Amino acid sequence: MKLKDELKSVIPQDLLNLVPSGFDIIGSRSGAVAIIEIPSELEDYKYEIAKAIIRNSRNVKAVLRRIGPRSGEFRLYNYEKLIGDLTEVIHVESGVRLMLDPTKVFFSPRDQYDRLDLASRVKDNEVIAYLFAGIAPYAFIILKHKPTVRIIYAVEINPEAIKYAEINVKLNKARGKVVPIEYDASAFCERMRDRFHRVIMTLPLGAHQYLHDAIGCVANGGVVNFYHTGPEENPFKDAEEIVMRHCSNANVDCRIINERVVREYAPRVYKVRVDFEVSKVRNNLKLN
């Protein structure tokens, strides 16, 4: 459906080009929420826009208008509810079912290809610390594609996200494989030193503050999946420098094994993932 075409008879011609060309849908056939950004110039038409979305997408039960950027430690958007009260949905992604309420927890359907890419790199029997896990979408996608993974600890501080992560463990029959833990990422790593084959750090605006912790809890030879942001001209430079600085401070050797632009984060700014392997055994002969 093209929203603009749908609203031609309602919105004046000079404002029509401000109607967003797209919006996010979170949910499935059983019920979905549409999330849209509406510029202030279209304030008088916001309910008409919401009604047009509902008319054309039968599964959409609620329309939320996104206000401002994500904020707070739980990384949530502020929303204005335009239509509908029920915002709890089951989102289906790559064969995985994820229950969530986007007004209470972080979730982005736009990360689905990154989840598939990361899952494709996981090896048999990995023990994984998934920091900043939210409702734990990466964990369920990994388990779906690599059922031989040993265990994934999903570490998160938002109690609502933990509640949904636990529901999702049941929905995806992941008991004993995905373990949600309501805990601060730094404190968790502190207690689990040298333990993990992989540490996943899905907090692009803050993960760098926890790199010291992640390097501490990854095992010798393990991999850290580090998320960061960078400008279009050179999206990986800042992330690479931060990684190398932390590795040097921790007195470990790190080797970047993969880099990926995840998606656009803001105009001309990308969210990126830098995967690096950590070697904790320093060769003294080499150093002398």
Which residues of the shown chain bind ligand SAM in the complex (CB under 6 A)? Answer: 73-75, 106-107, 111, 132-134, 137-138, 155-158, 161, 184-185, 202-203
Question: Across the strands, what pairs with 129?
Answer: 153, 199
Question: Across the strands, what pairs with 91?
Answer: 98
Report the residue number, 227 or 236, with the smaller CB distance to ligand SAM. Answer: 227
Report the residue number, 45 or 130, with the smaller CB distance to ligand SAM. Answer: 130
Report the residue number, 61 or 273, with the smaller CB distance to ligand SAM. Answer: 273
Report the residue number, 48 or 238, with the smaller CB distance to ligand SAM. Answer: 238
CA atoms within 13 A on the CB side of 213: 20
Q: In what order do the strands lie in the sheet with 24-28?
A: 24-28, 31-36, 60-71, 76-83
List the one residue out of 202, 215, 281, 203 whose CA is nearest residue 243.
215
Report the residue number, 126 or 213, with the smaller CB distance to ligand SAM. Answer: 213
Scanning the chain, the segments in alpha helix (DSSP H) are 3-6, 13-16, 46-56, 112-121, 137-145, 159-171, 185-191, 211-217, 237-249, 284-287
The distance of closest approach from Cβ of residue 129 to ligand SAM in the complex, given in angstroms and rounded to an integer, is 11
Burial class (CB in 10 A: 0-12, 13-18, 19+), 182: middle
The rounded distance, in Å, linking the Cα atoms of 246 and 242 is 6
The distance of closest approach from Cβ of residue 200 to ligand SAM in the complex, given in angstroms and rounded to an integer, is 8
The distance of closest approach from Cβ of residue 141 to ligand SAM in the complex, given in angstroms and rounded to an integer, is 10
The rounded distance, in Å, linking the Cα atoms of 204 and 202 is 6
Residue nearest to ligand SAM (CB): 134
Report the residue number, 42 or 185, with the smaller CB distance to ligand SAM. Answer: 185
The distance of closest approach from Cβ of residue 19 to ligand SAM in the complex, given in angstroms and rounded to an integer, is 28
Q: Which residues of 264-284 are buried (b: 16+ CB within 10 A; e: fewer)?
A: ebeeeebbbbbbbbbebeeee
The distance of closest approach from Cβ of residue 98 to ligand SAM in the complex, given in angstroms and rounded to an integer, is 9
The helix (run of H) or strand (run of E) holding residue 112 is helix 112-121
Amino acid letter, 59: N
The distance of closest approach from Cβ of residue 81 to ligand SAM in the complex, given in angstroms and rounded to an integer, is 21
Report the residue number, 132 or 236, with the smaller CB distance to ligand SAM. Answer: 132
The distance of closest approach from Cβ of residue 248 to ligand SAM in the complex, given in angstroms and rounded to an integer, is 24
CB 129 within 8 A of CB 198: yes
